Amino acid sequence: MNEITKTLLGLISDFKADFKGAFNIREDSECAGRQSSENIKIFNKTDGPGVVIQVMPGTKGETVFIPACVTRSNVNDVAYNDFYIGEGCDVTVVAGCGVHTEGEEEAQHNGIHNFIIEKGARVLYQEKHIGIGEGTGERIINPVTYITMAEDSYMEMDSTQIKGVDSTKRETRAKLAAGATLIVREKIMTDGKQYAETDFEIDLNGENSGTHLVSRSVAKGESRQVFRSRMNGYNACNGHSECDAIIMDNGVVSAIPELTAHNVDAALVHEAAIGKIAGEQLTKLRSLGLTAQEAEAKIIEGFLR
């Protein structure tokens, strides 16, 4: 792998010298490194670009790394990755994408991830998206995640995009069977003329299935953000969607909820709060010796933590 890839890996997956366990490193549409473990197998897809990740039933305490890096302008990378998480597993998946530009042409990564999570399995899915480089070309990342959860399975999805991505459209679709739980935590910050769009749709199909979606975002400069969440309750279930956003300068944030209950025992809730940083928060921090810029940065850091 090249030096830019190493830098990006450090930012999106805390890469130092090597990954421990199973991993697949994607660099400019090619494989820059791969390793399977005894319980986690990784191999090429036969019907398109991307990989298949097979986690054997009962696997616990292991991590698989699948970062993707675009290191130069004029690259449009597309990858279709399928995850088969066996029954009774408890594993961590570290994904994420870094995009670097050095010229006028755009650089783009579109990652389509499909999770099949079997009965009683637990998954922690972590992804960070970041853009770097001195080029004027747009840095674009469009992640798509499809999730199918069997009975009593559990998934946490932590998604972070704080820096450098000019345009992103983030789509998540999930179908939950009886007793399945999906937790999603999203953190986004945009600046300048950047644009970020999030689109969740969760089908709560099984009895006692549940989901909790939390989006925290900051829109600075003239950037724009759109948060859409659709929850469909087809059984006795619980769904909660929450969007909290800070707007600064001329930033714009839209929160668009849609709740549809097809069952009398479906309990679905949406909350949204959009506004500027409270003046009393700034005053308190400035009274402690911080400048206005330092106080703003400290508040944003705490909000996005």
Q: Is residue 291 part of a domain?
A: no
Q: Residue 227 — very low, low, confident or very high, per pLDDT cuts 50/70/90?
A: very high
Tally the domains of the chain.
1
Cα angle: 106, vertex 107, 112; to 5 degrees: 130
What is the Cα–Cα distance from 278 to 294, expressed in whole angstroms? Answer: 15
- Asked if residue 292 belongs to a domain, the reply is no
Q: Rounded to 5 degrees, what angle do the CA atoms 114, 115, 119 make?
A: 155
Place of tokens 């670009």: 49
What's the whole-number mean pLDDT along residues 234-260? 95
Domain that holds residue 11: 3-275
* Per-residue model confidence (pLDDT) at position 284: 83
Six-digit token string for 217: 């975002």
Residue 1 pLDDT more than 80?
A: no
Whether residue 296 lies inside any domain: the answer is no
Q: What is the CA angle 276-140-272, rounded to 5?
A: 30
Distance CA 19, CA 154 (A): 25
Highest mean pLDDT among 16-25, 26-35, 231-240, 270-279: 231-240
Report the pLDDT averaged over residues 90-112.
Answer: 94
Q: Is the pLDDT of residue 17 over 80?
A: no
| pLDDT single digits (tens) 146-163 | 999 999 999 999 999 988
Instruction: Report the C-alpha gap between 64 and 42 in whole angstroms.
Output: 9
Residues 6+ apart with CB under 8 A from 29: 49, 75, 77, 78, 79
Q: What is the pTM of this model?
A: 0.93
**Chain centroid to CA 177: how far?**
22
Is 91 domain-assigned? yes
Q: Is residue 34 part of a domain?
A: yes
Residue 284 lies in a domain: no
Across the chain, mean pLDDT equals: 94
Residue 283 lies in a domain: no
pLDDT band at 291 (very low <50, low <70, confident <90, very high): confident
Is it the case that residue 296 has pLDDT exceeding 90?
Answer: no
Question: Comparing 303 with 167, which gets the higher pLDDT?
Answer: 167
Banded pLDDT at 302 (limits 50, 70, 90): confident
Q: How many CB atoms lie within 10 A of CB 72?
A: 18
Give the pLDDT score at 218: 95
pLDDT at 259: 97
Stretch 229-239: mean pLDDT: 97
pLDDT at 290 over 90: no
**Does residue 239 fall inside a structural domain?**
yes
Q: Name residues whose C-beta falls within 8 Å of residue 164's C-beta, 6 or more positions apart in sequence.
A: 99, 130, 131, 132, 139
Least-confidence region, from 90-94, 232-236, 257-261, 276-280 = 276-280
